[in-house]
Structure 1
Amino acid sequence: MKKTVWAYKNSAKIDIGSYQQGAIDLDDIQKHNSISDAEPTTGGTAEGVLIHELVEQFELQKSGVDPNDKATKDARFNDDHQAGINAENQVNGNTRLREKEQISEGNRVDFLHNNPYYYKYYRQKDNTILEERISVESKDMQINKKVIPE
């Protein structure tokens, strides 16, 4: 079975990547700081986000799931998403705190009330926790990062 990953540029419908649609938004990825930037690398990086999205799609293809079987793809998502996070952590040199994302009041409230933000959390090399607030469903995705208390 062959899997196509669609690459978009500045799509309002694809926020960084879409597991279900097999798509990535290259402009959204480039809005993250790069590992090669002169400034310190914090939170998500362009390289980490790209490897995350590609690993998710690779794991999905490896599974042999019919690309049109939405229910089975949904059932696989958590495992494939975790594989993407593991690869992202290796590239970034920090640890994405997925468990914090799952219980984050911001994520719950924002998705329930259709606010256009998603939050990610990372434990940095210096042991601080960094919060990323990412605007979604917009052609002009914005990323705001700040260190937060534990």
Structure 2
Amino acid sequence: MKADDIVASFQTDNKGNDVGKAEYTNIINSGLAGQFEAKFEQTANGKYLVTLGATEGGGDLSKLSAEQKSFYDSFNDIANDHSSIVAQDVVLNDDTVDWGSYASNKIDVGDMSKFNSISDKGHTGSTAQGLLAHETDEQHQFTKVEGYQSMNKIQKMNTWDTSHEHAIGVENAVNGNERLKGRDINSGNSYTKFFKEANGSVTSETATSFTKNMQVTKMTIN
């Protein structure tokens, strides 16, 4: 295994199919304007090396929007960082995970798929690509911490603030808006975030927590 890859693992169903791989692939591909797509190379242990490659007849970066280009740059740069491996344990509608878990490397593509794509006209708040970019960048930032390979989950969580702060900046660029700091509301049953959109309006976004069927509600409040 090379040290310049994003490595994704998927659970399998009773027919041997990779659970969540289709959703993971769709989140990536739907954010790249048909110009680029996810490429998977299966390893001996059943995991996948994930990179981005040009589609047939594609590969034109000039055809990406600013948000799509930010998503491409973030994911592609991490996949080609020769100093680290970013592991992703991909799950689908896991009621122990909301979007992703920094401690366990889990990302829930079922949750992420409930959100707009950056390719959708008039998208607001979180996007599927913004969430994936955020979780991927957090894990990448963790690999920059000295001694990270030997840390337990408690020690890892002590590094979350710095990783999370950096990942929000990446997410903002991918979403094309600004997640407002210090405004999050965690009620236990739901989680609310606030975003300042490019037109100056504010979006309130509430997602149900720890459920196999996340429900998302967005509204403009300003």
Q: What is the TM-score when the length of structure 1 is the normalising length? A: 0.85
Superposition pairs for residues 53-132 of structure 1, below 5 Å? Answer: 53-63=135-145, 64-66=147-149, 68-101=151-184, 106-107=185-186, 110=187, 115-132=188-205
Indicate the structure whose relative CO is greater, using CA pairs within 8 Å and at least 6 residues apart. Answer: 1
Pick one of 101, 105, 110 that aligns with 1:22: 105
Equivalent pairs, count: 138
Residue 108 (structure 2) pairs with residue 35 (structure 1)? no
2:132 — aligned with what? Answer: 50
Unaligned runs of 5+ in 1: none
**Greater CA drift, 6-15 or 61-70:** 61-70
CA RMSD between the two structures: 1.6
Looking at structure 2, the residues matched to 121 and 25 of structure 1 have their Cα atoms a distance apart, in angstroms, of 21
Corresponding residue number in structure 1 for 2:221: 148
Matching residue's letter, 1:14: V
SS in 2 for 1:100: coil
Moved over 6 A (4+): none
Question: Higher mean Cα deviation, 62-71 or 41-50?
Answer: 62-71
- Deviation (angstroms), 1:19: 0.4
| Deviation, structure 1 residue 68 | 4.4
Report the AA paired with residue 180 of structure 2. L
Identity %: 34
Give the C-alpha shift of residue 2 in structure 1: 4.8
User: Is the helix fraction higher in 1 or 2?
Assistant: 1
Q: Gaps (5+ residues) in structure 2? A: 1-83
Query: How many angstroms apart in 1 are the aligned matches of 2:207 and 2:115?
Result: 10
State the shift of 1:79 in Å.
0.8
Deviation at 1:125, TM superposition (A): 0.8
TM-score normalised by L of structure 2: 0.59
Are 2:86 and 2:136, in contact at CA under 8 Å, matched by a contact in 1? no
Q: Which amino acid aligns with 1:82?
A: E
Larger Rg: 2
Cα distance in 2 for partners of 1:85, 1:42 equals: 15
- Taking the aligned partners of 2:150 and 2:174, their CA distance within structure 1 comes to 28
